[in-house]
């Protein structure tokens, strides 16, 4: 039995091709022509503009960690989840996943490159195509560019109506950031109620100019116009999702400026990610074994402890927080520090 493995390359589209044709090409790891890509970005941006900062989602749902341009891992994630929207007769494998204790959780990544630290602390603007071409590539200690990813089901049931929440960091590091984001946008445009795209810290003009997405767009299109169009889409991605009113899904973590989820609802999200404040913290913070709050070694966001997470869950009537932003070799881990309550659910991520 042979399997048709998608082969990367440019899409071969007719003059009247539309969303359905774009989606079929995107499934084959083909990147769209510049004109079609810009049109797709506009379609998705219009959909995102109608969504709230915290998008409500009903079960059944599959919550997915960072993709980081790993297109084939994205296909595998859909396969083990029963297929992407619109697919039928996809058999999900029967697996038993062991819940991991907090002792196994990876330490937070650290931004050690002084140039990137300077960039994160510099005034934020709509960067131009060549704004940082002189910067060296930065590396993040403790992370593994290109490593594999697993998703986690909030419910184990597979359904034709299963929804997917992607917790950001769709691009950078991997070889197929463009194709990965193209497929996710095609699915969002085709099935807007079944795909939720949450913003990560890599959905940023500054970060993508350092970690690869900007360069990839330059190589495949010969200019930065598609990168700019994608960055405008980034500006309208939601900040979080909430499943059945009980599970908060966010890329990074909590903020000392946010006590209630209603405060997240009023954050001005249509902008480049600020270098500090509530918006920044939502995409940069990490859980850690600290009393309350501590300075993050990443150079952005905060480390927050069990007491903070437990109080936040209690105040907002939540059962747990699902987040990404850190590498988890086993796919997902449950963060338990001092109490028996599950306060944070860490998904597989780079």
Q: Could you give the CA distance from residue 333 to residue 102 in angstroms, rounded to a whole number?
A: 8
Q: Could you give the CA distance from residue 259 to residue 313 in angstroms, rounded to a whole number?
A: 10
- Nearest Cα residue to 112 out of 132, 82, 136: 136
Lowest average pLDDT, out of 54-58, 82-86, 179-183, goes to 82-86
% pLDDT > 70, the chain: 74
What pLDDT, in 10s, does the model give residues 250-298? 999 999 999 999 999 999 999 999 999 999 999 999 999 898 999 999 9
Question: Are 278 and 267 spatial neighbours (Cβ–Cβ below 8 Å)?
Answer: yes
pLDDT at residue 159 in the model: 59
Question: In the predicted model, what is the mean pLDDT of the chain?
Answer: 82
* 202 included as an active-site residue: yes
pLDDT band, residue 120 (cuts 50/70/90): low
Burial 229-256 (b: 16+ CB within 10 A, else e): bbbbbbbbbbbbbbbeeebbbbbbbbbe
pLDDT at residue 112 in the model: 44
What pLDDT, in 10s, does the model give residues 183-235? 999 999 999 999 999 999 999 999 999 999 999 999 999 999 999 999 999 99
Question: Are 347 and 328 spatial neighbours (Cβ–Cβ below 8 Å)?
Answer: yes
Question: Are 40 and 22 spatial neighbours (Cβ–Cβ below 8 Å)?
Answer: yes
pLDDT at residue 140 in the model: 24
Give the β-pairing of 110-111 and 140-141.
Answer: antiparallel
Give the active site residue among 30, 68, 202, 251: 202
pLDDT higher than threshold 80 for residue 17: yes
The residues near 182 (Cβ < 8 Å, ≥ 6 apart) are 22, 26, 31, 32, 37, 40
pLDDT band, residue 26 (cuts 50/70/90): very high
- Nearest Cα residue to 295 out of 141, 111, 168: 111
Q: Could you give the CA distance from residue 253 to residue 301 in angstroms, rounded to a whole number?
A: 9
Gyration radius of the chain over CA positions = 19
- Nearest Cα residue to 287 out of 324, 260, 341: 324
In the chain the first and final C-alpha atoms are separated, in Å, by 33
The residues near 94 (Cβ < 8 Å, ≥ 6 apart) are none
pTM exceeds cut of 0.85: no
Q: All domains of the chain, ordered by start, with CATH?
A: 19-85+114-347 (3.60.21.10)
Backbone angles phi, psi at 257, to 5 degrees: -90, 0
Mean pLDDT of 150-173: 74
Mean pLDDT of 154-170: 77
Mean pLDDT of 94-103: 42
Lowest average pLDDT, out of 28-37, 201-210, 260-269, 304-313, goes to 304-313
């Amino acid at each position: 039995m042979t399997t048709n493995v998608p082969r990367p390359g440019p899409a071969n589209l007719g003059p009247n091709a539309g969303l359905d044709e774009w989606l079929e090409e995107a499934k084959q790891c083909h990147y769209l022509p510049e004109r079609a890509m810009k049109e797709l970005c506009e379609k998705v941006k219009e959909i995102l503009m109608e969504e709230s900062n915290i998008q409500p989602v009903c079960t059944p749902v599959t919550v997915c960690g960072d993709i980081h341009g790993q297109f084939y891992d994205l296909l595998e994630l859909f396969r083990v989840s029963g297929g992407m929207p619109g697919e039928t007769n996809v058999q999900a494998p029967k697996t038993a996943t062991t819940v991991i204790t907090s002792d196994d959780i990876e330490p937070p990544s650290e931004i050690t490159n002084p140039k990137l630290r300077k960039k994160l602390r510099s005034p934020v603007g709509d960067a131009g195509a060549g704004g940082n071409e002189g910067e060296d590539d930065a590396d993040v200690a403790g992370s593994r560019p290109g490593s594999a990813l697993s998703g986690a089901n909030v419910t184990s049931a597979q359904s034709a109506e299963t929804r997917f929440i992607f917790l950001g960091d769709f691009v950078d590091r991997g070889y197929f950031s463009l194709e990965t984001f193209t497929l996710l946008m095609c699915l969002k445009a085709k099935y807007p109620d079944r795909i939720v795209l949450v913003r990560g810290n890599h959905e940023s003009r500054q970060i993508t100019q350092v970690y690869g997405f900007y360069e990839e767009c330059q190589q495949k299109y010969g200019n930065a116009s598609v990168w700019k169009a994608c960055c405008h889409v980034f500006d309208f991605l939601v900040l979080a999702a909430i499943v059945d009113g009980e599970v908060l899904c966010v890329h990074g973590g909590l903020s000392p400026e946010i006590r209630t989820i209603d405060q997240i609802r009023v954050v001005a999200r249509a902008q480049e990610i600020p270098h500090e404040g509530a918006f920044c913290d939502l995409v940069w913070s990490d859980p850690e074994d600290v009393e309350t709050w501590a300075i993050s070694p990443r150079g952005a966001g905060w480390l927050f402890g069990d007491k903070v997470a437990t109080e936040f869950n209690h105040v907002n009537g939540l059962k747990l927080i699902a987040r990404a932003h850190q590498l988890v070799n086993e796919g997902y881990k449950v963060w338990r520090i001092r109490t028996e309550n599950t306060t944070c659910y860490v998904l597989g991520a780079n």
